[in-house]
Amino acid sequence: MRIQKVFLAAALIAAAPLCLFSQGVTLELLIHQNAPLVDYITSFNEKFHAQYPNITVNVSVVKADELATSTQTRLTANDVDIIDMFGFAQGIQPFMKNADKPNWQTLIEAGLLMDLTGQPFLKNYDASAVRDAGSFNGKVYEVNTGRYAFTGVFYNKDLFKKYGVKVPTTWGQLVAACQTFKKNNIAPMTAGGKDGWPVLVAGYGILLSAYPDQAALVKGLWTGSITWNDARSLDMWKKMQVLARDMIEPGASGIAFDAAPGRFASGAAAMLPAGSWDAPAIAAANPKLNFGYFPMPGSDNPADNKYLAGKYDVGWIVAAGTDKKDAAMKWLAFFSQPENYQAYVNATGIMPTQPTAKLNTVLGREVAPYLANFRLGYELLWVNPKGFGQWAQPNASFFKPFNQWDDARKLADQAQADLDAGLKANR
Amino acid sequence: MKGLPAGFSRRASSSRVVMFIVLLALAAVYLGPLLSVVNVSLQTSQEFSLDPTALARQPQFANFVTAWNKANFPLYLRNSLLYTVVATAVYVLTAVFVAFPIARRYVRGSGFLFSLFVVALFLPYALIPQFQLMLRLRLYNTPVGYILLFLVDPIGIVILVNYIRSIPRELDEAAAMDGSGYTRFVLRVLFPLIKPALASVIVLHAIGIWNEYVTPLIYLPKKALMPITRGLMVFYGQYGNDWTTLAAAILMLTLPIVALFLALQRWIYAGVLQGSVRG
Amino acid sequence: MKLGYYFGGRASRLVPYLLLLPGMLLYFFVSLGPSLATVFYSFTDASGLLGAPMHFVGLSNYQEFLFMGQNIRDNADVLVRTLEFSFLVTVIQTGLGLAAAMLLNQRLAATTVFRTVFFLPVILGVTIVGLTWTLFLYPVGGPAEKLLNLLGGRSEFLGGPPFQAFLWVTWVQIWANMGVTMIIFLGGLQTIPSELVEAARMDGAGGWQTFRSVTFPLLTPSLNTNLTLAIIGSLQAWQLLLVMKGVTNGTQVLGLIIYAIAFGRTSANPTSVAMRQGYGAAASVVLFVLVLIIGMGAQVLMRQRERRVLG
């Protein structure tokens, strides 16, 4: 007995310095709520821990609309190491006077984001993605992991076949398709109206068809050469009203953004105008579903409907004040390894920013023809002038039943008046 | 004197029946939403998608198990209790030692100090500088920092001062002559005497902390530190479209709160009443 | 009247001061100081990020919040909505609380049970109450919709036109807090001596007359307490709005907008909105002025009425 105790004591004493050497490090990671992303990161962290047993990753998840707030407060308090931040957007352009800086710029200027220029793992990524989505003043601050399209419409191939509906390439065809479904008691479209932004996103396809060059749109609005109530815009507003009022099913305002894919997958609705990030959720809700994705035909001219627009989505930034830089770089490097990155792409359905990765899913195949002409969406480029009014946004959810407007002409005029108020105030 | 309830009508018993029906209707408005939560917590997800008001066919107690596993209720409850109890206890202790000398004018400038507290109801919203203060003191995302925010409450001071003023000064004098020091007097003699006011201060303060949602939203992003109010919202954010599990979660939080309330209800009512009479 | 100190001589005269110090220091650092600092911040363009540069900008935050472009309309909307919220909550909650108290005071049956039921939401807290009602108001076949269908109507409840959603949240706020109002009135009712009521009866007064001439005037202290609590509380209350509606245009009140500005959530699509704590501080000062004017004004009116009614 005694000898065993002595052995035990000796072992513990011998082990003590080992414990000091292999001090565990905990990386704090902050991501936003997106079921496939959360699931992938959880399993990825386990793999990472197996590879580097002394590094544990602690993940916090917040809703997408709380992400910017959490990012700023936690960076300021310096209690987070790696954060998922959407690709740098809404940068200030020369023609924008007196506009508010975007949060990533204020963070960079406050010295809170770590400069990642020259890190070896950056070489795995598309140079253009690194430059467009994660750089400022020539330095790299974010590793962007991919893009999503948000001007398309998911459709139920079986339902389309059953009722003899072909994929619409003009607005007129889309309207007719919706009427066919309504006649047969199928909801033409559903959306996550409860959270507001899904209906906004649903309308982006119409915006794109009206103004295929979104960068020019932004500049035109600021300089006054394009207005929200000229003929082209008015047509766009009218179509948005039809979308909100007639195409999206009644009661959609009670459906949360993460419930809409399930509803579509169950066959209750024939179409779901949403971002391509919903594809994994749809497939998970109903693996037998035959679905596809087509660009929202917001124009009567098929040539205007050939594009997909979207955004740079999840990207990783590192807190400048972190004392675990080494561990953080290891995590990013491990994430960026081609096999891990491909697994990430497969899980989240994101369009890859690494040239070697392929999106081998249903969605990937549907979207592939449009990738050559992929463009950044309006919301990525637009910056509000100070003093602008709340209606100066191309937002389909302004219409009833989601909000108070039921006259497209009046809303168009109000939107322009609200924009003018801001432009004038800053001249 | 405790008189007959005002408006007591012996005669018209038909009007009493009417009044009772009105009471029942109001109670229905109060219980209705809670009952629908009970019903949904026992449905399956399909039943809910088809018809949220349908009575659950077979009670799905599995929902409760899922909610329990996915959420961290013991943790959230413990945190809420911790913050409420600690903050209230420390606050009450410091508050009495502030209110007593002000009420008795044992410190110079009592009048001025008192008016500082009275004015506090109308002060500008201090959220932003408080946030900066917490950051600089490195108390962000810590239990100590969070509790610190609830160690002040001017309304309590006002209630205490008013009540203490109604206690005769001679008591102080007598106790002092008996050899009691200041501290001992406050702790041994004063505290028991001001029980009604203490009850109201404790109850008002505790309910305030218990119900806070925004403060933990800002200052406690770490899940392990969240109180119930925040924890439940986080659960809702993650499983927001899974209403059956969510309803089960809501119920699981409601039951211990109701139990606590029933146990303490007499104190709570007394506290609210006392506060109203004096405040 | 001798205002002496009894508890000892020179050294121990300091004891009250020393024991007062912790409480006062806390008050200065946690409450008074930050409140005053808000005014200071309102004249800067502080973002709130530590380490970010901060400059004095004079009155330009106020100019922007109150007078720039469409902010005149949008922020005035918010101010008006704050006042609407406060008015509706104060009036309806007080009225309903009074009615409930009067009913309970009749000692009809199961008074304790009813009292518990009405007071329960106060204890349950804003999250449970908010989520319970979100479920009840579920627009796709939820209980409220079923009831409305019976009456032949339909509604999107919280998802529909903003003003409608706003009214619903206002109702839930009233529902949740009526319990406190009711208890305070109950206490007040119990202090009314029965002789006065009996005397009024003998003089031939009916129920309503008795209420108007005897009960209601004597309830003035409770009424004033309830009104004060409701007015000031509702001007600053917005947690329920955050839980039930979040940060969306058309339903905000001033408190909510201050939070949104200060923490970078002022857009429906807040991917890149920066925190603006200097600007937010200016909005806080505007709220303060509002609370001051209305709160003090109400106090003055209530004191006048109290003097007139109770002599």
Residue with tokens 């949060």: A103
Contact of C156 with chain A, judged by CB distance below 8 Å, is answered with yes
- Chain B residues touching C221 at Cβ < 8 A: 276-277
Rounded CA-CA distance A54/C138 in Å is 47
Q: Give the residue from chain B lying closest to C96, CA to CA.
A: B26
For position B2, what pLDDT does the model report? 43
Q: Give the residue from chain B lying closest to C128, CA to CA.
A: B250
The model's pLDDT over A93-120, given as tens digits with 9 standing for 90+, comes to 888 888 888 889 889 988 999 999 999 9
Question: How far are the Cα atoms of A13, A132, C95, C126, C173 from residue C237, in angstroms, in the given order?
Answer: 58, 42, 19, 11, 9
Task: Say what percent of chain C tops pLDDT 70.
Answer: 97
As a whole number, the mean pLDDT across chain C is: 86
The model's pLDDT over B14-42, given as tens digits with 9 standing for 90+, comes to 888 888 999 999 999 999 999 999 999 98
* pLDDT band, very low/low/confident/very high, at B279 (cuts 50, 70, 90): very low
Contact of C142 with chain B, judged by CB distance below 8 Å, is answered with yes
Please name the member of B121, B131, B217 whose beta carbon is closest to the beta carbon of C295.
Answer: B121
Determine, for residues B254 and C128 on separate chains, whether the beta-carbon distance falls below 8 Å: yes
Rounded CA-CA distance A169/A167 in Å is 7
* Tokens encoding A93: 């352009």
* pLDDT band, very low/low/confident/very high, at A207 (cuts 50, 70, 90): very high
Tell whether omega for the bond before A250 is within 30 degrees of 0, i.e. cis: no
Q: Stretch C61-69: mean pLDDT, rounded?
A: 88
* Tokens encoding A147: 């893009």
Please name the member of B221, B223, B241 whose beta carbon is closest to the beta carbon of A258.
Answer: B241
HSE of B39, CA atoms in CB hemisphere, 13 A: 19
Close Cβ partners of C23 (under 8 Å, ≥ 6 residues apart): B94, B95, B97, B98, B157
Domain coordinates in residue numbering, chain B: 6-41, 72-278
Q: How far is C247 from chain A (nearest CA, A)?
A: 9
pLDDT over threshold 80, residue B273: no
For position C175, what pLDDT does the model report? 95
Determine, for residues B214 and C124 on separate chains, whether the beta-carbon distance falls below 8 Å: no
Touching partners of C (3+ C-beta pairs < 8 Å): A, B
Question: How far are the Cα atoms of A102, A188, A260, A269, C103 from residue A185, in angstroms, in the given order?
Answer: 45, 9, 18, 10, 50
Closest by alpha carbon to A370, among A203, A157, A151, A204?
A151
Q: In what order do the strands lie in the sheet with A351-352?
A: A351-352, A146-149, A309-312, A375-376
Please name the member of A109, A389, A402 whose beta carbon is closest to the beta carbon of C159.
Answer: A402
Options 3.90.1150.10, 3.40.1450.10, 1.10.3720.10, 3.20.20.120; CATH for C58-310 is 1.10.3720.10
Torsion of CA A367, A369, A372, A376, to 10 degrees: -30
Rounded CA-CA distance B165/B277 in Å is 15
Close Cβ partners of C183 (under 8 Å, ≥ 6 residues apart): B269, B272, B273, B276, C101, C115, C119
* pLDDT band, very low/low/confident/very high, at C33 (cuts 50, 70, 90): very high
Chain C 89-118, residues with CB within 8 Å of chain B CB atoms: 100, 102-109, 114, 116-118
Residue B143: other Cβ atoms inside 10 A: 16
HSE of A284, CA atoms in CB hemisphere, 13 A: 16
Contact of A33 with chain B, judged by CB distance below 8 Å, is answered with yes
Q: Which domains does chain A have, with CATH numbers?
A: 24-148+311-375 (3.40.190.10), 152-307+384-425 (3.40.190.10)
Query: How does strand A269-273 pair with strand A187-189?
Result: parallel
Rounded CA-CA distance A298/A284 in Å is 29
* pLDDT band, very low/low/confident/very high, at B11 (cuts 50, 70, 90): low
Query: How does strand A152-156 pair with strand A291-295?
Result: antiparallel
As a whole number, the mean pLDDT across chain B is: 85
What DSSP state is assigned to residue C94?
A: H
Contact of B176 with chain C, judged by CB distance below 8 Å, is answered with yes
Please name the member of A66, A72, A389 whose beta carbon is closest to the beta carbon of C73.
Answer: A389
Residue with tokens 């160690």: B151
Determine, for residues A404 and C265 on separate chains, whether the beta-carbon distance falls below 8 Å: no
Domain coordinates in residue numbering, chain C: 1-41, 58-310
Residues C69, A387 contacting (CB under 8 angstroms): yes
The helices-and-strands tally (H runs, E runs) of chain C is 15, 0
pLDDT over threshold 50, residue B123: yes
Residue C40: other Cβ atoms inside 10 A: 13
- Chain C residues touching A107 at Cβ < 8 A: 49
In one letter, which amino acid is B175?
A
Contact of C3 with chain B, judged by CB distance below 8 Å, is answered with yes
pLDDT over threshold 80, residue A137: yes
Secondary structure element (H or E) that encloses residue C257, with its range: helix C254-262
Q: So what CATH class is B72-278?
A: mainly alpha
Chain C 219-258, residues with CB within 8 Å of chain A CB atoms: 246-250
Rounded CA-CA distance B9/A423 in Å is 68
Most confident of the ranges A31-40, A44-53, A126-135, A378-387:
A44-53
Task: Say what percent of chain B tops pLDDT 70.
Answer: 93
Determine, for residues B5 and C190 on separate chains, whether the beta-carbon distance falls below 8 Å: yes
